[in-house]
């Protein structure tokens, strides 16, 4: 079934699948996806005619409740699609809990290998919400029926092994461009850069970074996000020391050039006592922007606890400046070092670009393809 091109977007877990699918022959796959009425056309992936979940323009909780009850219908439709096109396996992607559930059910109905590809913890990431019990049930069903589990980070690999006794394959976020795209050799700005959403997994940590920036006379915080200035202001990010930008998907090249021009990139996650987000979720995250930060050749400030996978991954490779205490003063000292020591920044940038090779689209798509091929081979045997 022919599919359209998948333009990568700056930030968000959907970039993982868009980049991966863009690396495959469109005729080798069929997409049956959950259309969301809240997303723009360019941010959807679907094949016209295969709208397996109906969309409702309602309040979020009502909308999600309706979608949950559509899961059995979606599963039947997915199962029928796989039979029609002779599919050999079903890959269900999470963080869409309804689509993951539907894919799991469809694989049972069609008697096909099921490969869940999870970008977050399942039950843990939804703990305390309206669908916590449902997520626990889906978590059990997925792990019971999966022929093989695919995860997006090494933190999730360790988590699912230790907690659930499974051995996943890591298919990480990918960086589809070559590092050679970053050709700007001009002196970077004295800016501290953040891209992507500000919310419950990172808002407090980023606040410390902003407070530290305000103590450095020559520095500014730059946020590139779909969240508008008004939305960020409600979260406490406002004032003359803040610049905000937004780059739609079609401006990917402009976004990457902008990333290269910034002084210091920030990767920050909240401490467990600063948020309602489950500690297992926090500790397994590797933000989707990490590869593009590393590939840009600019230094990265990592602000999170030592036990988190984000800290361990980059610290083991010595390609960042690390602040593992929830201290504004410590963040300020680290930022001043990165904003003034050009030799150190260049060294960290070179190390980061070396690590970025681990996220090349060629390598990541090869791992993903291998996991699917093994599932098909095992099913045939």
CB 62 within 8 A of CB 34: no
Q: What is the mean pLDDT of residues 33-51?
A: 38
CB 150 within 8 A of CB 114: no
Q: Which two tokens stand for residue 94?
A: 């999470």
Tell me if 329 is assigned to some domain. yes
pLDDT for 131-144, tens place per residue? 999 999 999 999 99
Quickly state the pLDDT bin for 381 (edges 50, 70, 90): low
Tell me if 2 is assigned to some domain. no
Q: CA 111: distance to chain centroid?
A: 30
Residue 24 and residue 88 share a domain:
yes
Residue 116 and residue 214 share a domain:
no
Residue 136 and residue 190 share a domain:
no
User: Residue 72: which of 106, 96, 47 has the closest Cα?
Assistant: 106
pLDDT over 80 (residue 123): yes
The residues pairing with 234 across neighbouring beta strands, listed in sequence order, are none
Residue 271 and residue 246 share a domain:
yes
Residue 369 and residue 309 share a domain:
no
Residue 289 and residue 354 share a domain:
yes
Tell me if 212 is assigned to some domain. yes
| Residue percentage of the chain with pLDDT more than 90 | 67
Tell me if 197 is assigned to some domain. yes
Quickly state the pLDDT bin for 2 (edges 50, 70, 90): very low
Domain that holds residue 365: 14-174+360-380
pLDDT of residue 29: 77
Residue 229 and residue 118 share a domain:
no
Rounded to whole angstroms, the Cα distance separating 173 from 11 reads 11
Tell me if 76 is assigned to some domain. yes
Q: Which two tokens stand for residue 78?
A: 């997915």
| Residue percentage of the chain with pLDDT more than 70 | 87
Tell me if 156 is assigned to some domain. yes
pLDDT of residue 74: 85
What mean pLDDT, rounded, does the chain reach?
86
Q: What is the mean pLDDT of residues 87-116?
A: 91
pLDDT over 70 (residue 45): no
Residue 184 and residue 166 share a domain:
no
Do the bridges between strand 169-170 and strand 90-94 make them parallel or antiparallel, or are there none, so unpaired?
A: unpaired
pLDDT for 234-280, tens place per residue? 999 999 999 999 998 889 999 999 999 999 999 999 999 999 999 99
Quickly state the pLDDT bin for 209 (edges 50, 70, 90): very high
Residue 287 and residue 153 share a domain:
no
Rounded to whole angstroms, the Cα distance separating 211 from 199 reads 17
Q: Which two tokens stand for residue 116?
A: 């869940």
C-alpha count within 13 angstroms, C-beta hemisphere, residue 293: 27
pLDDT of residue 46: 32
Q: CA 164: distance to chain centroid?
A: 22
Tell me if 7 is assigned to some domain. no
pLDDT of residue 85: 79
Range in 69-73, 285-289, 327-331 with the lowest mean pLDDT:
69-73
What CATH number corresponds to the domain at position 246? 3.40.50.2000
Task: Return the higher-pLDDT residue of 59 and 328.
Answer: 328
Residue 265 and residue 336 share a domain:
yes
Rounded to whole angstroms, the Cα distance separating 23 from 175 reads 12
Q: What is the mean pLDDT of residues 159-163?
A: 98
pLDDT over 50 (residue 20): yes
Range in 86-95, 230-239, 332-341 with the lowest mean pLDDT:
86-95
Residue 290 and residue 371 share a domain:
no
Q: What is the mean pLDDT of residues 316-343?
A: 97
Tell me if 3 is assigned to some domain. no
What does the H/E/C string look like for the chain?
A: CCCCCCCCCCCCCHHHHHHHHHCCCHHHCCCCECCCCCCCHHHCCCCCCCECCCCCCCCHHHHHHHHHHHHHHHHHHHHHHHHHHCCCCEEEEECCHHHHHHHHHHHHHHCCCEEEEECCCCCHHHCCCCCHHHHHHHHHHHHHHCCCCEECCHHHHHHHHHHHCCCCEECCCCECCCHHHCCCCCCCCCEEEEECCCCCCCHHHHHHHHHHHCCCCCCEEEEECCCCHHHHHHCCCCCCCEEEECCCHHHHHHHHHHHHHCCEEEEECCCHHHCCCCHHHHHHCCCCCHHHHHHCCCCEEEECCCCCHHHHHHHHCCCCEEECCCCHHHHHHHHHHHHHCHHHHHHHHHHHHHHHHHHEHHHHHHHHHHHHHHHHHHHHC
Number of domains in the chain: 2
Residue 168 and residue 188 share a domain:
no
Q: What is the mean pLDDT of residues 22-42?
A: 60
**What residues have CB less than 8 Å from 280, skipping those under 6 apart?**
121, 124, 159, 163
Quickly state the pLDDT bin for 24 (edges 50, 70, 90): confident
Please state the φ and ψ torsions of residue 350, each to the nearest 5 degrees: -65, -40
pLDDT over 50 (residue 226): yes
Angle at 45 between CA 33 and CA 364, to 5 degrees: 100
Q: What is the mean pLDDT of residues 361-379?
A: 90
In terms of Cβ atoms closer than 10 Å to its own Cβ (0-12, 13-18, 19+), residue 350 is exposed
Quickly state the pLDDT bin for 33 (edges 50, 70, 90): low
Rounded to whole angstroms, the Cα distance separating 247 from 221 reads 17
CA dist 348 → 290, 298, 301, 317, 344 (Å): 14, 7, 10, 10, 6
Q: Which two tokens stand for residue 211?
A: 């407070």
């Amino acid at each position: 079934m022919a599919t359209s091109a998948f333009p990568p977007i700056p930030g968000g877990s959907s970039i993982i699948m868009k980049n991966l699918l863009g690396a495959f022959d469109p005729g080798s796959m069929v997409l049956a996806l959950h259309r969301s009425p809240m997303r723009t056309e360019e941010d959807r992936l679907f094949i016209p005619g295969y709208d397996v979940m109906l969309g409702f323009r309602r309040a979020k909780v009502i909308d999600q409740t309706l979608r949950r009850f559509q899961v059995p219908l979606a599963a039947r439709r997915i199962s029928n699609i796989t039979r029609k096109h002779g599919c050999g396996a079903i890959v269900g992607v999470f963080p869409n809990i309804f689509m993951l559930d539907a894919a799991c059910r469809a694989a049972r109905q069609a008697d096909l290998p099921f490969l869940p590809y999870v970008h977050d913890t399942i039950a843990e990431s939804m703990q305390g919400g309206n669908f916590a019990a449902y997520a626990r049930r889906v978590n059990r069903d997925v792990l019971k029926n999966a022929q093989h589990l695919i995860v997006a980070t090494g933190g999730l690999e360790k988590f699912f092994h230790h907690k659930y006794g499974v051995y996943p394959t890591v298919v990480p976020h990918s960086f589809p461009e070559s590092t050679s795209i970053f050709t700007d050799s001009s002196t970077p700005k004295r800016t501290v850069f953040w891209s992507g959403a500000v919310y419950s997994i990172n808002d407090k940590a980023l606040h410390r970074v902003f407070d530290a920036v305000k103590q450095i006379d020559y520095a500014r915080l730059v946020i590139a996000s779909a969240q508008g200035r008004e939305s960020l202001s409600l979260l406490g990010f406002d004032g003359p020391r803040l610049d905000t930008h937004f780059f739609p998907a079609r401006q990917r090249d402009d976004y990457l050039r902008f990333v290269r021009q910034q002084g210091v990139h920030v990767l920050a996650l909240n401490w467990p006592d600063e948020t309602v987000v489950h500690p297992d979720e926090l500790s397994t995250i590797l933000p989707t922007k990490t590869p593009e930060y590393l590939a840009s050749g600019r230094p990265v400030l990592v602000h999170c606890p030592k036990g988190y996978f984000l800290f361990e991954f980059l610290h083991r490779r010595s390609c960042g400046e690390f602040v593992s205490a929830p201290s504004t003063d410590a963040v300020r000292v680290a930022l001043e070092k990165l904003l003034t020591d050009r030799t150190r920044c260049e060294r960290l940038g070179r190390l980061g670009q070396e690590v970025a090779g681990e996220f090349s689209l060629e390598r990541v798509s090869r791992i993903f393809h291998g996991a699917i091929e093994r599932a098909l081979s095992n099913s045939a045997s």
